Amino acid sequence: MGWRVLCLCMFLGALFMLFNAQNAFVSCALTSQLQEEITRINGEGPYIGLVIPNSFELNPLLQNPAYTPSENIIDFAGRRFRFGSIGDKPVILIYAAITTQLLLSIFNIEGVVHYGIAGNANPSLNIGDVAIPQFWAHLTLWSWQRYGEGPSNTLPLEQNGDYTRNVGYLKFGDFMSNVSWGDSFDNLLNRIWYQPEEVFPVDGIPEQRQHALWVPVDYNYYQIATRLKKLKLDACINSTTCLSTTPKVEMVERGASASIYIDNAAYRSFIYKKFHVTPVEMESASVALICLQQRVPFIVIRALSDLAGGGSSDSNEADIFAPLAATNSVKVVIEFIKLLPSKSPKWSPM
């Protein structure tokens, strides 16, 4: 290839990138028409932001008679914002999780309610129960220690405060199968050390980081949610298939999110013993961290649809009971929103 051809290719490549960059910019920009629409919609707020993992959990809400859709729908930045109300509370429905940032940046939001289904790591709760944790953490930020080092060795970047050994570790050698316990085993994968996230609160000093591992849900929301403990939940999928226990709403200590679908009994048991987590899933910690950063009240309601690997050996129960769990999560969310005071603090746009 001669240099002329090469130059032409580079030129076309640059042009292509420029074209795409401009398109991307145009599709994400708030046009003045959209801004007017948003101002009008915000005037009908403040809203509760309902953050939902999938259509699987959205659809039972859309179909529930307690939800009244409004005519407003905004498609923006590749995401859809649906508007409606539950009782006299205006709500905005979005999919999780980082869209929560857009939700809070653009709309008049008084609080965030995140709901859906989850795996259950807590042996004292059952499939079909709805768990409302007090704290959430993201459990897949790790420092992965090199082979040969142990708990007394500092981690890379530990000394300048990036990483810590305070939260604890998982050692792969502790999970050898078919060996008697009590001995220590080596494994080249050594240990992973759990790490808190970095957050930059909206009311903090810009770019001055704080660390957050267990993010508390809003205190008032949690108190209100305790009134749902006697709510009657569905126990049957159809006339013949029912849960073996009566499902209930449970206030629990902790939930955990990770970029992992957990279907593994050993890891389930480990994180329960180490962190006392009940629901395990993939979104709540992101929602919690965004709300923490923005100082917006939030709560998470998760119906337990499977045992995260702790159930019978032949299948993951999510296949059978997930629809029931999704319906129950919607039921609890609706009752929770009905309990919120209708007069909420006035929103002051930035």
Ligand X SMILES: *[C@@H]1O[C@H](CO)[C@@H](O)[C@H](O)[C@H]1NC(C)=O
Whole-number minimum distance, CB 178 to ligand X, in Å?
4
Cα gap 192→185, rounded to integer Å: 15
Chain centroid to CA 4: how far?
A: 52
Residue 240 vs 244, nearer CB to ligand X: 240
Q: Annotate each residue in 270-309 with x if it binds ligand X (CB under 6 A) or - if it does not, as one string.
A: ----------------------------------------
Structural element, H or E, at residue 252: strand 249-257
Q: Provide the residue type at 29 as one letter.
A: A
Question: Closest CB to ligand X among 103 and 243?
Answer: 243
Q: Which two tokens stand for residue 144?
A: 């992965």
User: How near is the Cβ of 205 to ligand X at its closest, in Å?
Assistant: 52
CA atoms within 13 A on the CB side of 83: 21
Round to whole Å and give the CA distance between 36 and 33: 5
Task: Give the residues across from 49 on adjacent strands.
Answer: 92, 112
Task: Map the footprint of ligand X across residues 305-334, applying CB under 6 A.
Answer: 320
30 binds ligand X (CB under 6 A): no
Burial of 265 (0-12, 13-18, 19+ CB in 10 A): middle
Q: Which is nearer to ligand X, 300 or 322 (CB)?
A: 322
Within 224-253, the residues that bind ligand X by CB under 6 A are 237-241
With respect to ligand X, which residue has the nearer C-beta, 177 or 342? 177
- Chain positions 136 to 195 lying near ligand X, rule: CB under 6 A, are 177-178
- Looking at beta carbons only, is 115 or 267 nearer to ligand X? 267
Q: Which of 145, 134, 311 is nearest to 320 (CA)?
A: 311
Q: How far is the CB of 236 from ligand X (least distance, A)?
A: 9
Taking the complex as a whole, how short is the minimal distance between the CB of residue 327 and ligand X, in angstroms?
Answer: 14
| Interface contacts to ligand X, rule CB under 6 A | 177-178, 237-241, 320
